[in-house]
Each structure stands twice: as C-alpha cells, then as structure tokens.
Chains A and B, each alone.
Chain A
Amino acid sequence: MRGRRSSRSAAVVLAGCVGLAVMAPGLALAAPTGSETNSADCTAAGGRWSEAENKCSAVSSTATSAPSASNSSSTDDDSVAGRSSTSVSQNDVTVTESNTTTNSTTTSNSNNTSNSNNTSNSNSNNTTTNNSTTTNNNTTTNNNSTTTNNTTVDIENNTSIENNTTVYESNYFSNTYVFNSHAPNAWWGTYWRHRYDVDCDELTYDEANAILEWDSSDPFRLDRDDDGEACEARAHDDDDDDEGHVEYVSYPEGGVSTGDGSTGSGASAVEVALAAGAVAGLGATGLVVARRSARQG
C-alpha cells in the first residue's frame, strides 16, 4: 500500500512537472509590462502585485497566464458568462495525498490572488482542493487529478470541474458531487445539464424550488413559465386538505350528474300529457259509472 502511494505521488509530481513544462512557453507572453497600476491589472498580466512596493512584478517561472479551455491565451474574459477564469500566482507546489474514498487527490499549495481559488470542504473527510487547474495536458478527473497552475475553467471542458471546488453532499442526488462554489450560475447550468438532467417527475416541489433558488438560470427548465416557482403542478402533492381531490390535466369526462329526480321540476311535456290523460280517463270512467248507476236506479 505504501509503495502504491509513493508511486502514485511520484506520478502526480511527474505529471505536474510535465504540465508546467508544457505551459512554460506561454508564460512569457503573460509577463507584466510594468505599466500595471493595480492588483487586477497585474494579476491579469500574469504578475504578482506587491502592496508594499505598489508595483507589479513577474512571478516565478511557474506563474502562468490563464488559458481558456478552448486553448485561447486570453486571460481577461472573466466576465464572459459561462467561464470562470482564475489568475493565480503560484510559487511553491506541494503535492500531498489525502485519504479519500473516491479520489486520489492532489493539493496545490498556491499563493492565491483570486477569490476563486479559495477552497473549502464541507464534506467530512473527502477533500479535493486543487487550486487552479486544467489545461489540455492536464485533464482532471475524479481519479489521479494533477496540478498545474492557473487555469480558466471553461464550460465546454467538463474535465476540469473537480478542481477549485467546494465539496459537499448534495441533498438532491444520491451521490456526492464536487461543486465549484465560485462558478457563475450559467456555468453551473451548463455543467449540470451536461452531466445530469432532472425534471419535475423526479423531484419534489421543495427540491425543485431549492434547485431553482440555488441556480436561478433554471438549467433544467423546472420553471417553464418563468414565474419564479418551479414544478407548480407538484405544489400540493403533500397537502392533506386536498385529500380526495384529483387534479387532472385533461378535461372532465362524460355528462354531469346534477339532479336526482327528487322534485317535479324536471317533468317533461310527455309526463304532463300522461298526467292529463290519466285525469281525463278517471273522469270518463266516473261518467260511465254514474250513468250505469242512474239506469239501475
């Protein structure tokens, strides 16, 4: 076991080094020019902003720009919907190994300059804390994830999802998934739609609305009428006071039972004619009886 861990660690370090080596040529393109006047510009230029010196300086050789997953060298597209771009300066790379049940993980101890690199772990003991990630040569999967430096996580590239993440147990699905707590909603929408698809049949009303609240972009179209309420049709599934009542989408069937014949109000003309005939018959019978009695008398 120990040997496996050692060899795995070595493999991770080797993969990281290879990744850095591949990315290194691109770093020069992102070197700061010295004209940067604030931290954001400096970071965007791939430098490190020194508050004490109030200047931007080039970072060590491991610092990189943030390539997009589409392999663009652009680094200033944080505002583009669907992308979570991180610019991270990283000096020391420490590869450790956590004890996880599903992942063999790599942790990079980076010098974060962006909030998006902050990580947390709310899921007991499984920790995946890659600060930054993923380029073409650094495919991060659930297993044996490797570490490089700064990355742009692209919505198209789901291999980088598990990096830069908050891990927690989802209430809506049976498994544990790893979430990027800082990615924009649109990014998450695409991610979830790509990996999962749920609809109102699979969720309770509360679950559906919790998802909608969590991601108002409504990636699963749970709120098709865009009224801010998901899966309305299931709203009263659990209501006891609706017992006995059934909601159907289709029309009612057949005629309507709105009478029990208990009054004469429903008498038809035929019924009236029959009644009149009966009266007339009684009268005629009476007449005959009277005549006979008169003759006998």
Chain B
Amino acid sequence: MATTTEHQSTQQRGTARATIGVLLVVALVAVVAYLTVGATSARTGPAVADLPAGRTEVALPLDWAETANLRIPSIGVDTRQLTELGQTEDRRLEVPRDATTVGHYRGGAAPGQDGPAVYASHVDYGGVEGGFARLSDVEAGDQVLVERTDGVTVVYAVDRVAEVPKDAFPTVQVYGATPGPELRLITCGGEFDADVRSYEDNVVVYGHAVEAYR
C-alpha cells in the first residue's frame, strides 16, 4: 500500500514538472515569436518599387503642388490621407489630428521643389497604430514615392534614418535649405515617457529626389 502511494506521488510530481516545463517552453516560444515576427513584419514590401515603364520623365526641380499620395513600399505605407501642417503658437510643427493621416509641412518645400519636403505622422495615437508606425524600419536605399496633385510623381531615395532626442532636434538639418529636392519623414520613437505622455525621441528619415515622372 505504501509502495502504491509513493508511486502515485512520483507520478504526480512527474506530471507537474512536465506541465511546468511545457508552460516554460510555450512562454519562451511566445517571446521568441513576438521578437521574430515583430522584426520581420515591419518591412512588408520591396525597398524599390516597380516604376511604370511608359513614364515620361519630368525635370527637377518642380514648382509648387500639393501632395496627392505618399508611398513607402518597404513598410507598406500607401496613403492618400494627407493634410497640410503649419506651426503651432509655440512654434512647434503641427501634427495630424488623427493617427493615420500624414501631414506635409507647408512652410517647407513641395515635393520635387528645391528644399526639404517634410512629412510627419504619428507612430501611434488614440490606441491606433499611426501612419508612420514602422518608419524606424525604413533603411537607406528604400524608395519613397510622392504623387503630386499635378500628376507628377517624385521618387526619393532614402539616405539615412536617424533617431534623435526631441530635446536636441536637428532643426536645420530637417528644415534647412538644401541644394536640391529632398525629403524628410518624421515620427516618434525611442522610450515612451509616461509622465509627460510623450516619446523621448523622433525618428527622422532623410532622402533625396532621384527622378520625377508623370
């Protein structure tokens, strides 16, 4: 009888250990899966888009026109949800009023004009993933295509992606004059400071125009 009881106890211990082991494995797999899937899902498309074969090249720089469509194929951004941004009363860049809209800073250059065409969108807002949620996954060499309201599309090539502290924002590099048509994409990044409900950094994508076509 005692032998039977010990045997049952040993079986229960073995079952508990196995259960715990399974749980640990499941937890580790979940963490690894989260990290892996999270890392790969940000880049959802090709770095370089297939441009229309029959396109007609347009000489740069261009005159002023508003933005009709913005595409970042490498991270799956393709939006016509656009707005124009100015400055707030404390001279900060306005931001779109919802999560997914991309704003163009009207104090800067239009797409294809000499100077930096500056776009900003949220990384997240109101519980919704923002228009530039994956911007930090853009890499040098990626294409950004901006279609203008006059039908001309400007193709930009990304030069670099930087994460910069908001309290040391590179104002001149982002907004300052450039020798040709350039691009700046801005969103939030880095640690989120819950006390001030703000991210500590900005992610800034720098690019330059390589061609324009219609």
Contact = CB atoms under 8 A, between A and B. Distances in A.
B92 interface: yes
Interface in A243-267: 245-248, 250-263, 265-266
Interface SS majority for chain B: mixed
Given A246-B89, A251-B172, A254-B92, A259 B188 contact: yes
B51 to A, nearest CB: 29
B213 interface: no
Given A259-B122, A272-B35, A294 B12 contact: yes
B93 A256 contact: yes
B128 A256 contact: no
A229 B188 CA distance: 40
Interface string B104-118: 010100000000000
B95 interface: yes
Nearest to A255: B166
Nearest to A259: B188
Contacts of A279: 27-28, 30-31
A266 B188 contact: yes
A235 interface: no
B67 interface: no
A258 B120 contact: yes
B197 A260 contact: yes
Contact of A259 (B19, B123, B165, B167): B123
A56 to B, nearest CB: 58
B124 A263 contact: yes
Contacts of B165: 255
B123 A258 contact: yes
B124 A266 contact: yes
Contact of B175 (A251, A261, A266, A283): A251
Interface residues of A, number: 36
Contact of B20 (A248, A263, A268, A286): A286
Interface in A225-252: 245-248, 250-252
Nearest to B172: A251
Contacts of A21: none
A258 B192 contact: no
A259 B175 CA distance: 20
A287 interface: yes
Given A246-B89, A257-B92, A252 B107 contact: yes
Given A252-B175, A265-B124, 20 more contacts: A251-B174, A252-B91, A252-B93, A255-B166, A258-B125, A258-B187, A259-B122, A260-B122, A260-B124, A262-B127, A262-B128, A266-B124, A270-B191, A272-B31, A272-B34, A279-B27, A283-B20, A287-B24, A290-B20, A297-B12
Interface of A: 245-248, 250-263, 265-266, 268, 270, 272, 275-276, 279-280, 282-283, 286-287, 290-291, 293-294, 297
23 contacts: A247-B87, A248-B87, A251-B107, A251-B174, A252-B87, A253-B92, A256-B169, A257-B188, A257-B198, A259-B188, A259-B192, A259-B198, A263-B127, A265-B124, A265-B129, A265-B134, A266-B124, A266-B192, A268-B190, A279-B31, A283-B23, A287-B24, A294-B9
Interface of B: 9, 12-13, 16-17, 19-20, 23-24, 27-28, 30-31, 34-35, 38, 86-93, 95, 105, 107, 120-130, 132-134, 164-167, 169, 171-172, 174-176, 186-192, 194, 197-199, 201-202
